[in-house]
Amino acid sequence: MVAGPGARPGGALTEGASGSAPSTESSGGPGGSPLLELSNVEVTYSGVILVLKGINIIVPERGCVALLGPNGAGKSTTLKAVSGVLKTEEGLVSAGQVRFAGERIDTLAAERTVRRGILHVMEGRKVLEHMTVEQNLVAGGHLQRSRDAKESLELTYEYFPRLADLRGRTSGYLSGGEQQMLVIGRALMARPKLMMIDEPSLGLAPLMVEEIFSILHRLRQEDLALVIVEQNTAAALALADYGYVLDNGRIVLDGTAESLRSNEDIREFYLGLGATGERKSFRDIKHYRRRKRWLG
């Protein structure tokens, strides 16, 4: 049995279907009620390109799950399968099911998933460049009543004081980090039950990455469920309860954040650390593509 995200901290790692037998026993299913479930999901583009190959993911209520893996592994496609934007890219959930709060959603259009409380912050900091910061935020709360939208705006400024200072600035002139704050804040305006964020630290300076993740940690304390796609594995596993490693459209490894941080392969290939914790050079870890013990 594959351990779910609610498994107790320090629980076992579980190999994917295509990997070798796990080194320890599974710690069981999630302890909390599942909010999001992907069951044997396959995604096909243009009717012929199979990108996801039967993945199973659980995100519990108020939980945080990290999706890890190399570029092209299928992480962003996983988020798109949940949010309903696949159709805009000639994509389709061709097998399996995506369920949110017990209801099947993989056949819904993107606007209907938003109304159910799922917000997808896509990679690339897609702000409305010719509108001000505040206009971007107000656009994010367009589904709410005016009084609720005003409360959401004040709460967003509380989370992101820098946006409050820049509320009249044209968003296209913001820095990359400020734009990332803006797209997360715009998603918060809809008061989501689940927020999925794709590469929040991409291209940002280290201090800005630290600030972004400190805000995400605070959002976790507000019981918002999160799914994070992130190349900064150390930051992602410090935030998440549970993680899945994808490669070539399959889940090849999953486990609690604590168990993934201590896994030899994760430490070497993603954190750049040796078995005793020493920092390894790029020369030492460049054979990553040749050495995937979880693939046998």
DSSP at 279: B
Tokens of 216: 């995400």
Of the listed ranges 27-31, 153-157, 250-254, the one predicted with least confidence: 27-31
The answer to whether residue 13 scores a pLDDT higher than 90 is no
What was the pLDDT predicted at 279? Answer: 52
What was the pLDDT predicted at 18? Answer: 39
Determine the residue type at 251: I
Residue 22 CA to residue 33 CA, distance in Å, equals 25
- pLDDT band at residue 4, thresholds of 50, 70 and 90? very low
| β partners of residue 120 | 196
What was the pLDDT predicted at 53? Answer: 95
If you average pLDDT over residues 170-189, what whole number do you get? 93
Taking the CB of residue 50, how many other CB atoms lie within 10 A of it?
13
Q: Which residue has the higher pLDDT, 213 or 281?
A: 213
- pLDDT band at residue 23, thresholds of 50, 70 and 90? very low
The answer to whether residue 76 scores a pLDDT higher than 70 is yes
Per DSSP, the three-state class of 45 is strand
The answer to whether residue 191 scores a pLDDT higher than 70 is yes
- Burial category of 94 from C-beta neighbours within 10 Å (exposed 0-12, middle 13-18, buried 19 and up): middle
- pLDDT band at residue 289, thresholds of 50, 70 and 90? very low
Helix axes 146-159, 133-140, angle to 10 degrees: 130
The answer to whether residue 152 scores a pLDDT higher than 80 is yes
Of the listed ranges 92-101, 123-132, 180-189, 264-273, the one predicted with least confidence: 264-273
Q: Which residue has the higher pLDDT, 274 or 76?
A: 76
| β partners of residue 99 | 37, 104
- For the stretch 92-109, pLDDT in tens is 999 999 999 999 999 999
Fold of domain 14-117+192-295 = Rossmann fold (3.40.50)
Residue 85 neighbours by CB under 8 Å, 6+ apart? 110, 120, 122
Percent of the chain with pLDDT over 70: 79
The answer to whether residue 206 scores a pLDDT higher than 80 is yes
